[in-house]
Amino acid sequence: MKTIFLLVAIVAVVKAQFDPHQLPDRSTMVHLFEWKWDDIALECENFLGPKGFAGIQVSPVNENVIAPKRPWWERYQPISFILTTRSGNEQQFANMVKRCNKVGVRTYVDVVFNHMAAKQGGQAVGTGGSRAYPENKDYPAVPFTNADFHPSCGIQDYNDAYQVRNCELVALRDLNQTIPHVQNKILEFLDRLVDLGVAGFRVDAAKHMWPNDLRVIYGSLKNLNTAHGFPPNSKPFIVQEVIDLGGEGIKRDEYVDLGAITEFKVSAAIGKAFRGGDDLKNLKNWGEQWGFLESSKALVFVDNHDNQRGHGAGGADILTYKQSKPYKMATAFNLGFPFGITRIMSSFSFDDTDQGPPKDSSGNIKSPVIQKDGSCDAGWVCEHRWRQIYNMVEFQNQVKGTEVGNWWDNGKNQIAFCRGNAGFIAFNLESFDLNQDIQTCLPAGTYCDVISGDKVGSNCSGKKVLVGNDGKARIIIGPNEDDGVLAIHKGKKL
């Protein structure tokens, strides 16, 4: 009996780590890559909350090395767990989390604890003013000393799990997470973020750590802070960065009972399909049949901050803001089809792959400039402010809990499907018109296509779709239109 109760308890705790703790009528998070905390707080209040975004993923919050030319990757080189970075300090971060929670937007922190800042000539200086001596594996502001790290070796063979987890990823000093002092310092850091009201973590470089060490760390985390609206006994959401496209020594399945996984197979497959490398009709059984993890354990995205610049996985298949038409189509599919825990990317524009966020002459990150039409300027792309993307966030909320119905395709690259009786979406990736009467499953009436326009008062600035008493509508998407998608839902009926 006792064993059974214990088992039930353990299963319940582990399961809770898959729950992103989003409001019931919300569905997707956005990665505000390299944004400053004060700007995010405003963005939550002015845009993300009102538009129904469920959460934000933020860049690493703890002190990192100041690297020459301020590349984006300096934030993945910790100097200490002091909460001061170019995005702001602890007080600003705390204020942001509070204000975002208030408008229903949860915070997920990108946490880096596989390693500390890489070996470099002499002393390293952090964004909080701390000094460290990576040469000697000495980080006094934590403190970590030589004894807290694995002996130095390089990762030569990704088929060798021992090397991947115990050696140094690009000379980054590799912490030994089996050591109690290391576990305690990591836990203090994560628990402080929980106290400040975050909903969970994206664990950077999880596959470079031993699952058993992560199990101990996750299992010791505090429950979420009820003062921020989380129910009692809520465990932090965990999503682990495990890149596994197959063919490596370490499998995502070794981590799947510990928390959700970044499902890079989705990113590669969706990019390939909307680049024309796979017929869209094959998306009909999108999900586990494609070799993806089960829906509740997979964090799914079109691109992330690594693979949009050729780091990480997926190579030439990955779509980014630079290919805006297929990118918007892929994003619409990712948000329109019921699979996975969804995340959208919000980027700064870049030409070289090391380039950091827009900065002033002193190296401070610049705030995004929001233009009259709501789009961003000053080097920020803000995909989340593209109508075709934020309106799909609303679509996803409107159809939440419904299944795919009435799949239609032309045998190749024109597809359409219903989401219950709540929404309908169609795609055209052919070089000729989509012009068909298709079952929409929606009640009769006139709907506003939220891709080509939006509902304005009782009118629509885009295409109007007339649904007949039989639920059918004439769907038209030309090959040369700005967008290859049409989406209607119950929330935007005229």
Ligand X SMILES: *[C@@H]1O[C@H](CO)[C@@H](O)[C@H](O)[C@H]1NC(C)=O
Select 42 or 494, whichever has its Cβ closest to ligand X: 494
What are the two backbone dihedrals, phi and then psi, of residue 458, each rounded to the nearest 5 degrees?
-105, 15
Does 461 interact with ligand X (rule: CB under 6 A)? Answer: yes
In the set 204, 244, 263, 383, the catalytic residue is 204
Distances in Å between the Cα of 109 and the Cα atoms of 62, 190, 199, 201, 322 are 10, 9, 8, 5, 26
Q: Is 43 a catalytic residue?
A: no
β-sheet bridge partners, residue 341 = 299
Does 179 interact with ligand X (rule: CB under 6 A)? Answer: yes
In the set 63, 148, 241, 383, the catalytic residue is 241
Select 151 or 479, whichever has its Cβ closest to ligand X: 151
Single out the residue of 162, 233, 238 nearest to residue 199, CA to CA.
238
Q: Element (H or E) spanning 27, and its range? A: none
- Does 443 sit behind a cis peptide bond, omega within 30 degrees of 0 on the bond before it? no
Does 410 interact with ligand X (rule: CB under 6 A)? Answer: no
Does 459 interact with ligand X (rule: CB under 6 A)? Answer: yes
β-sheet bridge partners, residue 300 = 342
What are the two backbone dihedrals, phi and then psi, of residue 480, each rounded to the nearest 5 degrees?
-110, 15
Does 166 interact with ligand X (rule: CB under 6 A)? Answer: yes
3-state DSSP assignment of residue 18: coil
State the nearest-atom distance from the C-beta of 95 to ligand X, in Å.
Answer: 38
Does 176 interact with ligand X (rule: CB under 6 A)? Answer: yes
Select 151 or 443, whichever has its Cβ closest to ligand X: 151
Q: Of 22-30, 84-92, 173-181, 270-278, which part binds ligand X (CB under 6 A)?
A: 173-181
Select 123 or 178, whichever has its Cβ closest to ligand X: 178
Does 150 interact with ligand X (rule: CB under 6 A)? Answer: yes
State the nearest-atom distance from the C-beta of 414 to ligand X, in Å.
Answer: 25
Does 161 interact with ligand X (rule: CB under 6 A)? Answer: no
* DSSP secondary structure letter of residue 279: -
CA pair distance 68, 47, nearest whole angstrom:
34
Does 212 interact with ligand X (rule: CB under 6 A)? Answer: no
State the nearest-atom distance from the C-beta of 475 to ligand X, in Å.
Answer: 18
State the nearest-atom distance from the C-beta of 132 to ligand X, in Å.
Answer: 21
Distances in Å between the Cα of 103 and the Cα atoms of 42, 54, 87, 435 are 11, 10, 21, 41
Q: Of 171-179, 231-239, 397-405, 421-429, which part binds ligand X (CB under 6 A)?
A: 171-179
What number of other Cβ atoms are within 10 A of residue 188's Cβ?
A: 11
What number of other Cβ atoms are within 10 A of residue 3's Cβ?
A: 7
Q: Is 204 a catalytic residue?
A: yes
Residues at the contact surface with ligand X, assessed by CB under 6 A: 150-151, 166, 176, 178-179, 459, 461
Provide the annotated active-site residues: 204, 241
